[in-house]
Amino acid sequence: MFSGFMVNAWTVASIVAVVAGLVGFFAVLRGSAFVAHAVPNGSFAGAAGASLIGINTLVGLGAFSLLGAFGIGFLGRRGRHDVVTALALVLMLGLGSLFLSFSGEYAPQVYSLLFGEVLGISSNQVAPTAALALICVVAIVLLYRPLMLSSVLGEVGEARGVSSFRMELCFLAVVALLATMTVPVVGTTLIFSLMIGAPAAARSFTDRPLIAIALSVAIALITVWSAIAASYETNYPVGFFVGAISALAYALGRGWAAWRQRRHTGARPAFGASTPTAALPS
Amino acid sequence: MIVSVGGQLLGAALAPVIESGFFSSEAVQVSVAIGAVVAIVSGAVGMFTVMRGQSFAGEALGDIGTTGGSAAYLGGIGPLWGIVAIDIVAAAVMELIGIQRPRGRDLATGIVLGAFLGLAALLLYLNTTFHHATGAVNTILFGSVFTVAHSQIPAIAALSVAALAIVALLYRPLLLSSMSAEIAAARGIPVRFIGAAYLLAMALAVALASMTIGTILSTALLIGPAATALRLTRRPGVAIAVAAMLGVGAMWLGVLLAYDSFYWPPKGNGWPVSFFVVTLIFLAYLLSGLPALLSVRARARSA
C-alpha cells in the first residue's frame, strides 16, 4: 500500500488535504460553499479547451478557473451572489460541452476530472501540485488578518480600510489556484467534499480560529488517508469514500455541538426551537 | 398545436436563418415542445428559487440527479424515476439538516451535494465495471434534448403539473415567506412547512429538467431567466411570465442554432444545444443589468 506508484498518491493527497483544510476553513466562514463547488467544476472546460488547441491542460484549467472566479467576483457586486455563481458555472460548463463536441479525444478524461484518479497520479504531477499548494498557503498566511476580519466582520473591516470587495477577489483567486492544482489530480468532487466537510466539522468543535484551522487540516488529512486506504483495499473510487467520510465528520460535529449545548443550558433544547414557527406542524 | 403554430410564425420570421427540414425533423419537434414545457416550469419555480436565495440548492439537485441516473442505470430501470426519487430524498435531507436557516443553508447544501456526488462516483464506477459502459458517464452528465424518448412524455407532463400545482396552491404564502420569513411567521404562515413544500416542487422541477435537457441546462433555466425577470420587474406575477417567456425563447433559439450548426465548422458535427442556450441566458442576464448600471453612472456624473 505504501510502495511504488502509491507513494505519489499519498504525497499528492496529503498536500491537497492540507490546502483544502486551510482554504476550506475560509470558504465555510465566508459562506462561499457554492463558489467552492462552482470554480473547480467549471474549470474542467479549460482543460477540455486546452486539449483542443494542444496546450498544457494546467494552463487551460488555470485560465478558466481564474476567469470564472473573477467573473463571479465582479458580477457579484451588482447581482445576487448565488445567482451570478450559478450563471458563471453553467456558462463554463456550456463552453466545456462545446469543446468536448469539437474533439471527442478529451471525453474519456471527464470522469477523472470529476471524480479523480488518485491512485494513478504520476511522478511529474507531484512538483506542480506542490508548487501551487505552496502559493496557496503563502497567500492565505499573508492575507490571514485582513481576510479573517472581512470574513467575520465585513463592516468593521471596511471601517479599518480593508475592502470587502478586494478581499473577496483575493479569496476567489486562491480558490481558483486551488482548483487548478487539485482538479487534474484528485477531481472536483473530492476537493469540494474536503473543502466543506472538514472545516464545517472543525468549526463545530471549537470557536477559536487557529485551532479550528488546525483541526480542519487534521480532519482533511484523516479523511483522505482513510479514503485512500479503503479505496486501495476495495478498489472502489476514492471520491466515494471522501464524500462519505466528510459527511460523517460533519454529522459528528453537529452531534457534538448539540450535546455541548444541551450540557450548557442544562435542558434538552427543543428541535428547531430558535424559530417562532417551530410549534406549528410541518 | 400551439407549439406548431408558434413554430410556423417563428419560421416565417426567421426564414433566412433556418436550415431546411428544421420543422419536419421529429427530434426538433419533440425538443421544441419539451424545451418549452421545461422552460415554463423552471421559470415559475425558479422565480422563488432566486427570491429565496436557494440557487445553490437548485444547482446541487441537478448534479445529484446524476446519482439517481446512475443508480437507475445500474438497476436497469429508466433514469427518470431514479432521478426523481434521489432528488426528493436529497431535498428532504437538505431540509432536515438546515437549509431553512440562512446561515447554515449553503453548508447543508454542500454537505449533501458532496456525499451524493461521492455516491455517484461509486455508482458510475460500478456501471463501468459491470456494464462496460464508459459512455454512460457523459450521457448521464450532459444529457441531450434531442434524445428524449416519446415514452417519457406522460411522465414529463405529470412532473410538470405536480411542480406547478404546488407553486400555484401555495402561491401567496410562498411569496410572502420568500420576501420576508419574519413577516410571514408573524401572520401565522407555517414558514417551515411552506419551505419544505417548495423544496419538493423545486426537486420535481429540477429532476424534470435534468433528465430531459441535462443538468447544465436545468440550472441555467431555473436561475437565469428568473433572475433576469426579477431585474426587469418588481411584480412577481409579471416576473414569472417574463421568466417563462425568456426561458422558452432561449430554448427555442438554442435548438434552432444547434440545428443550423450542423453546417458550421467543424463539418458534420453540430454544436451542443446547451452551449447556445446557456450563452443566450447569460447574455440576457447581463443586458438586464444594463439599465441599473447606466442610471447609477448618470447619477454619479450629475452629482
Nearest residue on chain B to A112, alpha-carbon basis:
B121
| Cell numbers representing residue B281 in the block | 441566458
Residues of B in contact with A240 (CB under 8 A): 118-119, 121-122, 125
Q: Is the pLDDT of residue B141 over 60?
A: no
Average pLDDT over every residue of B110-137: 78
Q: Indicate whether A222 belongs to any domain.
A: no
Yes or no, beta carbons of A100 and B114 under 8 Å apart: no
Give the DSSP letter of residue A1: -
Q: Which of A83, A102, A246 sits opposite B266 (nearest CB)?
A: A102
Give the model's confidence band at A227: pLDDT under 50 very low, under 70 low, under 90 confident, else very high.
very high
Contact assignment for A239 to B117 by CB distance below 8 Å: yes
Say if residues A94 and A48 touch (Cβ distance below 8 Å): no
Task: Name the minimum distance, in Å, from the CA of A251 to any CA of chain B.
Answer: 9
Query: For an interface test with B, which of A32, A81, A97, A115 has the most B Cβ atoms less than 10 Å from its Cβ?
Result: A97
CA distance A15 to chain B (A): 20
Q: Under 8 Å CB-to-CB from B296, ≥6 apart: which residues?
A: none
- CATH number, domain containing residue A48: 1.10.3470.10
CA distance B101 to B108: 10
Stretch A258-270: mean pLDDT: 70
Instruction: Report how many domains make up chain A.
Output: 1
Q: So what's the pLDDT on residue B132?
A: 58
| ipTM computed for the complex | 0.86
Which is more confidently placed, A259 or B148? A259
Contact call for A98 and B269, based on CB within 8 A = no
**What integer pLDDT is reported at residue B98 of this predicted model?**
74
More confident call, A114 vs A268: A114
> What pLDDT shows up at residue B146?
54
Q: Which one of 3.90.1150.200, 3.40.1390.10, 1.10.3470.10, 3.30.300.30 gives the CATH number of domain B2-302?
A: 1.10.3470.10
Query: Does the pLDDT value for residue A273 go beyond 50?
Result: no
Nearest to A103 by CA among A50, A27, A156: A50
Residues A125-144: tens digit of each pLDDT: 888 889 999 999 999 999 99
| DSSP tag of A206 | -
> Is 90 exceeded by the pLDDT of residue B245?
yes
3-state SS, chain B, equals CHHHHHHHHHHHHCHHHCCCCCCCCHHHHHHHHHHHHHHHHHHHHHHHHHHHCCHHHHHHHHHHHHHHHHHHHHHCCCHHHHHHHHHHHHHHHHHHCCCCCHHHHHHHHHHHHHHHHHHHHHHHHHHHHHHCCCCHHHHHHHCCHHHCCHHHHHHHHHHHHHHHHHHHHCHHHHHHHHHCHHHHHHCCCCHHHHHHHHHHHHHHHHHHHHHHHHHHHHHHHHHHHHHHHHHHCCCHHHHHHHHHHHHHHHHHHHHHHHHHHHHCCCCCCCCCHHHHHHHHHHHHHHHHCHHHHHHHHHHHHHC
Most confident of A98-102, B54-58, B145-149, B268-272: B54-58
Q: CB B227 to CB A196 under 8 A?
A: no
| pLDDT the model gives residue B230 | 94
* Residue A267: exposure state from Cβ atoms within 10 A (0-12, 13-18, ≥19): exposed
Q: Mean of the pLDDT values across residues A82-86?
A: 93
> Minimal CA–CA distance to B87: which of B105, B71, B109, B68?
B68
The boundaries of the domain holding residue A152 are 6-191
Contact call for residues B166 and B201 (beta carbons, < 8 A): yes
Whole-number Å distance between alpha carbons of A54 and A65: 18
Tell me which of A70 and A108 has the higher pLDDT: A70
Mean pLDDT estimate for chain A: 85
Return the domain boundaries, chain B. 2-302
User: A102: buried, middle or exposed (CB in 10 Å: 19+, 13-18, 0-12)?
Assistant: middle
CA B261, chain centre distance (Å) = 23
Burial class (CB in 10 A: 0-12, 13-18, 19+), B68: buried
More confident residue, B281 or B108: B281
Per the CB < 8 Å rule, is A33 touching B110?
A: yes
Query: What average pLDDT does the structure give for chain B?
Result: 83
Residue A276 has a CB neighbour count (10 Å cut-off) of 12
More confidently predicted of A102 and A203: A203
Q: Is the pLDDT of residue B129 over 50?
A: yes
Average pLDDT score over residue span A185-209: 89
Distances (CA, A) of A71 to A124, B30, B122, B173, B249: 31, 35, 33, 35, 25
Asked if the C-beta of B81 comes within 8 angstroms of chain A's C-beta atoms, the answer is no
- Return the SS3 of A249: helix
Any B CB within 8 A of A216 CB: no
Peptide bond into B266 cis (omega under 30): yes
Q: How confident is the model at residue A263 (pLDDT cuts 50, 70, 90)?
A: confident
B 127-156 residues inside an 8 A Cβ radius of A: 134, 137-138, 141-142
Check pLDDT > 90 for residue B282: yes
Write down the pTM of the prediction: 0.86
Is A87 within the bounds of a domain?
yes
- Residue A243 in domain: no
CA A207 to chain centre: 21
Residue B1's pLDDT is 41
Contact B53 A80 (CB under 8 A): yes
pLDDT at A151: 86
Q: Which of A32-41, A272-281, B140-149, B206-215 has the highest mean pLDDT?
A: A32-41
Q: Is residue A239 part of a domain?
A: no
Distance of alpha carbon B270 from alpha carbon A260, whole angstroms: 59
In chain A, residues 66-125 whose CB comes closer than 8 Å to chain B = 78-80, 82-83, 85-87, 89-91, 93-95, 97-98, 100-102, 107-108, 110-111, 114-115
Minimum mean pLDDT range among A29-43, A241-255, A257-271, B252-266 = A257-271
pLDDT digits (tens, 9 = 90+) for B55-90: 999 999 988 988 888 888 787 777 778 888 999 999
What is residue B241's predicted lDDT score, i.e. its pLDDT? 96
pLDDT tens figures, B153-194:
888 889 999 999 999 999 999 999 998 888 998 999 998 899
pLDDT of B20 strictly over 80: no
Please report which confidence band the pLDDT of residue B251 belongs to, taking 50, 70 and 90 as the band edges.
very high
